[in-house]
């Protein structure tokens, strides 16, 4: 296991920021750490990297305790912090070369160019970072996190400031890294990123992990139905018994709004609909997924 955090509690000054945080990340996994602003996501990352001392609980990162050997952990991790500043007077290649040397790597210019290309950043060699757009800076930050060939990537809001194409490109980079066995802790409030990328999710509210698991598990645990809009090519069959795992919420002309029962895989539900004789033309997600789950869980805990 790359990260194993159990019952983590932490104070900053007199403020109790974390009460009871759990997190388990395996190699090759993308773990989404989500929660409202101020929930303790960034503090959890800081504790995992040895920047903050914990009050209670245990933390193991790459087999080491960050309270004892933070440098060894940092040498094997790539981190993109939320507060992501640069040396504006440098160019991208010099900047990455500087950080590579801090990781005790002497990267050739070609290797540095490969890292820049990997994240979709190809500036003019003499262009200084001061002239970069926000999206270019975000990509450079990701290249910096990758410069030491990390076993573990910790990314705090990595797609902030990126356009939809840029976000998709970064998603592809992260998926490729995950396939190569790199564990990725993705801290974000963009639920679309979580939905698209993460194998497992941890939800933190007020410094406590209130839910952890795969999206399907969380929806099942929270008894949240997944809602879809189904476009129909004709009227619904008048059968006495409809599909058993799907309930119709509303019918609006050619469209029907349906809820899937908790834990029902969408593919199973669609087969049921077809077997029941539904003239299905197309299906769209219509809420009831991660966003609804997030809102209901954060609302419950905030209340």
Which position among 40, 66, 81, 120 is part of the footprint of other proteins (CB under 8 A)? 81
Quick one: 45 or 219, whose CB is closer to other proteins?
A: 45
Position 98 contacts other proteins (CB under 8 A): yes
Position 93 contacts other proteins (CB under 8 A): no
Quick one: 144 or 200, whose CB is closer to other proteins?
A: 144
Position 52 contacts other proteins (CB under 8 A): yes
Which position among 14, 37, 68, 85 is part of the footprint of other proteins (CB under 8 A)? 85
Cβ–Cβ under 8 Å, residues 61 and 2 = yes
Nearest to 84 by CA among 24, 156, 148, 150: 156
Position 51 contacts other proteins (CB under 8 A): yes
Which position among 8, 23, 79, 96 is part of the footprint of other proteins (CB under 8 A)? 79
Position 106 contacts other proteins (CB under 8 A): yes
State the minimum distance, in angstroms, from the CB of residue 84 to other proteins: 6
Q: Where are the beta strands (DSSP E) in 148-270?
A: 152-156, 183-187, 200-205, 208-213, 226-232, 246-252, 255-260
**Residues 189, 183: Cα–Cα separation, whole Å:** 19
Element (H, E) at 16: strand 15-25
Q: Where are the beta strands (DSSP E) in 67-118?
A: 77-80
Quick one: 70 or 232, whose CB is closer to other proteins?
A: 70
Among the residue ranges 21-29, 66-74, 157-165, 290-298, the one whose residues contact other proteins (CB under 8 A): 66-74
Cβ–Cβ under 8 Å, residues 29 and 199 = yes
Quick one: 62 or 246, whose CB is closer to other proteins?
A: 62
State the minimum distance, in angstroms, from the CB of residue 251 to other proteins: 53
**Residues 193, 266: Cα–Cα separation, whole Å:** 20
Element (H, E) at 8: strand 3-12
Number of residues that bind other proteins (CB under 8 A): 29
Quick one: 152 or 293, whose CB is closer to other proteins?
A: 152
User: What 3-state class would DSSP assign to 164?
Assistant: helix
User: What 3-state class would DSSP assign to 271?
Assistant: helix
Q: How many CB atoms lie within 10 A of CB 103?
A: 16
Position 83 contacts other proteins (CB under 8 A): yes
Binding mask 132-161 for other proteins (x = CB under 8 A): ---------x--x-----------------
**Residues 254, 235: Cα–Cα separation, whole Å:** 8
> Please, which residues bridge with residue 185 across strands?
31, 154
Position 101 contacts other proteins (CB under 8 A): yes
Point out which residues bind other proteins (CB under 8 A).
46, 49, 51-53, 71-72, 74-75, 77, 79, 81, 83-90, 98-99, 101-104, 106, 141, 144
């Amino acid at each position: 296991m790359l990260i194993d955090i159990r019952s983590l509690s932490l104070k900053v000054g007199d403020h109790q920021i974390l009460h009871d945080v759990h997190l388990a990340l395996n190699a090759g996994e993308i773990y989404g750490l989500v929660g409202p602003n101020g929930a303790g996501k960034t503090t959890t990352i800081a504790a995992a990297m040895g920047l903050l001392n914990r009050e209670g609980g245990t933390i193991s990162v790459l087999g080491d305790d960050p309270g004892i050997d933070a440098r060894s952990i940092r040498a094997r991790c790539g981190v993109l912090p939320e507060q992501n500043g640069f040396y504006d007077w440098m160019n991208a290649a010099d900047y990455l070369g500087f950080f590579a040397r801090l990781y005790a790597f002497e990267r050739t210019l070609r290797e540095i160019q490969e890292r820049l290309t990997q994240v979709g950043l190809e500036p003019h060699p003499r262009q200084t970072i001061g002239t970069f757009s926000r999206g270019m800076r975000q990509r450079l930050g990701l290249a910096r996190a990758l410069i030491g060939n990390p076993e573990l990537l910790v990314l705090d809001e990595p797609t902030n400031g990126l356009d939809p194409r840029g976000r998709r490109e970064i998603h592809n980079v992260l998926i490729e890294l995950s396939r190569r066995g790199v564990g990725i802790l993705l801290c974000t409030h963009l639920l679309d990123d979580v939905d698209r990328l993460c194998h497992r999710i941890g939800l933190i509210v007020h410094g406590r992990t209130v839910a952890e698991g795969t999206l399907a598990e969380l929806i099942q645990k929270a008894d949240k139905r997944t809602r879809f809009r189904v476009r129909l090519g004709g009227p619904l069959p008048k059968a006495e018994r409809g599909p058993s795992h799907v309930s119709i919420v509303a019918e609006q002309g050619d469209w029907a709004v349906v809820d899937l029962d908790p834990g029902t895989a969408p593919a199973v539900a669609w087969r049921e609909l077809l077997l029941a004789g539904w003239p299905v033309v197309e299906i769209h997600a219509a809420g009831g997924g991660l966003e609804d789950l997030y809102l209901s869980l954060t609302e419950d805990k905030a209340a």
